Amino acid sequence: MGVIVQKFGGTSVADMERIKNVAQRVIKTYDRGNDVVVILSAMAGVTDGLIELARQASETPDKREMDVLLATGEQTTVALLSMALRSLGYSATSLLGFQVDVLTNKQPMSARIISVGGDRIRDLLTRKHIVVVAGFQGCDSDGNITTLGRGGSDTSAVAVAAAINADACEIYTDVDGIYTADPNICTSARKLSHVSYDEMLEMASLGARVLQIRSVEFAKKYNVPVHVRSSFNEEEGTMVVKENSEMERLVISGVTCDKNQRRITLKKVPDQPGISAKIFSPIADAKILVDMIIQNTRSGGETDLTFTVAKADFDEALSITRQVAGDIGATEVLTAESIAKISVIGVGMKNHSGVAAAMFSALADENINIRLISTSEIRISCMIEEKYAELAVRVLHSAFNLDKETA
Ligand code: ASP
Ligand code: MG
């Protein structure tokens, strides 16, 4: 018995039949004596549909009004689930973001949660209500409705769980957990029983389809254990939790592939103090995120400098770089479009040596050339040619003994 937060995504509430299935699942948990708070997304496709309608209303829809519009998707599902629960004889109450004091900053359409007031939820729980809260939405300090960015109801769930100090935060979705690699690329990928917050954050490209990254940051900050599991079966999914010593026994827990980047190289950059700042300040001013940055060693007072940005930011980053290159006297700007970043991730690499060497050897055995390398404490990434991406994932997956048969 405890306080359980259950979040159901869009595919789990896609129509009335599925909403009734959700009701059954919630009731099952409630009947075991738990207090249950449900967080819902909009029905699958509804948020996209609303965005499309907005486009028809205006070429540049006002962002405040976008928030008002997008928040309606979740308002529909919470009301319907509460009705369904009531018709089955259970006390249920739906609440919108502002009604549970989900206070956010003033960034329309990608607001960040500042705090969640748990009082109203707790009060309803004491009166044995099932509380059904609209995900994805909040309210800023001026009383405007805000939304949390795509996939934001995951973050709503974790924030509510933290606010009421829930015993569990279950995220029900259309996949049954987090895998060691994308099962579409690597058929021998396995479901992980546990993954640490930091691994999950590093696995962004694998996990982002399952959990909004911000929800993981939130879970880490407030130490909320998150259980990602399927809404279509009863199996245990993946626990996203604080790192523990058990996890470190595994050297690598996942292999990811990111094809969403482009590379820019500045040739013969003068090797002087302040040059990197001159290059990256205007890029930062344009709010472009830079991922990998590599600077070569000096030769003849000059260096080459390479970095990567997301595909969507490439054109803008390139035009800024060309301009800066002229200003600082770099001779040439080169680009590479068909690249992929392959990463191996695992908290275990903190105390295992030879992980990088093993990764490079496995790629070398397949004659895959490494263009760039970057690392964090728990990740090693190699930039390679895009056409080798799938092969590289499979090769590394088996090189690190992650394949089903060997585990
Ligand atoms: N309905 C929102 C979306 O489609 C939020 C969510 O589903 O998490 O992104
Ligand atoms: Mg989602």
Q: Which residues of the chain have pLDDT under 70?
A: 205-208, 405-407
Ligand 1 binding residues, C-beta < 6 A: 9-10, 41-42, 47, 73, 135-136, 150-154
Tell me the HSE value of 138 on the side-chain side, using a 13 A CA sphere.
Answer: 29
Distance from the alpha carbon of residue 136 to the mean position of ligand 1, in angstroms: 6
Candidates 85, 138, 149; CA nearest to 113 is 138
Domain map (residue ranges) of the chain: 3-174, 255-399
Q: Using N-to-C axis directions, what is the helix angle for 63-87 and 46-57, rounded to 10°?
A: 140
- Ligand nearest 209 Cα, by number? 2
- Mutation choice for ligand 1 from 136, 158, 211, 231, CB with most ligand atoms inside 8 A: 136
Nearest CA to ligand 1 atom 8: 151
Residue whose token pair is 């929800």: 215
- Can you tell me which atom of ligand 1 is nearest the CA of 151? 8
Per-residue confidence (pLDDT) for residue 207, from 0 to 100: 66
9: CA distance to ligand 2 center in Å?
6
Question: Which CATH code, of 3.40.1160.10, 3.30.565.10, 3.40.50.2020, 3.40.50.720, is assigned to 3-174?
Answer: 3.40.1160.10
Interval between CA 209 and ligand 2 midpoint (Å): 6
Closest ligand to the CA of 212: 2
pLDDT at 204: 77
Q: Is 284 helix (H, G, I), strand (E, B) or coil?
A: helix
Q: Return the residue whose CA atom lies nearest to atom 6 of ligand 1.
A: 151
Within 8 A by CB and 6+ apart from 274, the residues are none
Nearest ligand to the CA of 153 is 1
Which atom of ligand 1 lies closest to the CA of 150? 9
Sheet with 113-116, side-by-side order of all strands: 113-116, 102-104, 137-139, 145-147
Residue type, 386: E
For 343, phi then psi, to 5°, come to -125, 145
Coil, helix or strand at residue 3: strand
Residue 208 is predicted with a pLDDT of 65
CA of 70 to the centre of ligand 1 (A): 9
208 Cα: distance to centroid of ligand 2 (angstroms): 8
Ligand 1, residues 11, 41, 77, 212: which to mutate, most atoms within 8 A of Cβ? Answer: 41
Instruction: Give the atom of ligand 1 at the shortest distance from the alpha carbon of 42.
Output: 1
Mutate to test the pocket of ligand 1, among 133, 153, 211 (most ligand atoms within 8 A of CB): 153
Please tell me if the domain spanning 3-174 has the same topology as the one spanning 255-399: no
Find the 275 Cα to ligand 1 centroid distance in Å.
Answer: 42
Kindly compute the dihedral angle of the four CA atoms of residues 13, 17, 19, 22, in this order, to the nearest 10 degrees.
Answer: -110
The pLDDT of residue 405: 64
C-alpha separations of 362 from 256, 339, 365, 396, 399 in Å: 15, 18, 5, 6, 7
Q: Which two tokens stand for residue 183?
A: 């099962």
How far does CA 164 lie from the centroid of its chain? 23
pLDDT for the residue numbered 1: 85
Q: Is 262 within 8 Å of 309 (Cβ atoms)? A: yes
- How far is the centre of ligand 2, averaged over its atoms, from the C-alpha of 180 (Å)? 19
CA of 41 to the centre of ligand 2 (A): 8
Q: 274 C-alpha vs ligand 2 centroid, how far in Å? A: 42
What is the number of alpha carbons within 13 Å of residue 152 lying toward its C-beta?
A: 26
DSSP string, 242-275: ---TTGGGSS--EEEEE--EEEEEEEEEE--TTH
Superfamily of domain 255-399: VC0802-like (3.30.2130.10)
Give the ligand at the shortest distance from the Cα of 155.
Answer: 1
> What ligand 1 atom has the least distance to the C-alpha of 74?
1
Collapsing DSSP to helix, strand or coil, 382 comes out as strand
Nearest CA to ligand 1 atom 5: 151
Residue type, 360: F
Which is the closest atom of ligand 1 to the Cα of 212? 8
Q: Which ligand is nearest to the CA of 50?
A: 1
Place of tokens 């309210």: 139
* CB distance 147 to 70 below 8 Å: yes
* Cα 286 to ligand 1 centroid, rounded to whole Å: 27
Q: Tell me the one-letter amino acid at 62.
A: D
Collapsing DSSP states into helix, strand and coil, what is residue 73?
Answer: helix
Residues 239, 223: Cα–Cα separation, whole Å:
12
Backbone dihedral angles phi then psi of residue 172, each to the nearest 5 degrees: -90, 130
Tell me, what amino acid is at 15?
D
Cα of 406 vs its chain's centroid, Å:
29
Quick one: tokens of 360? Answer: 């490079």
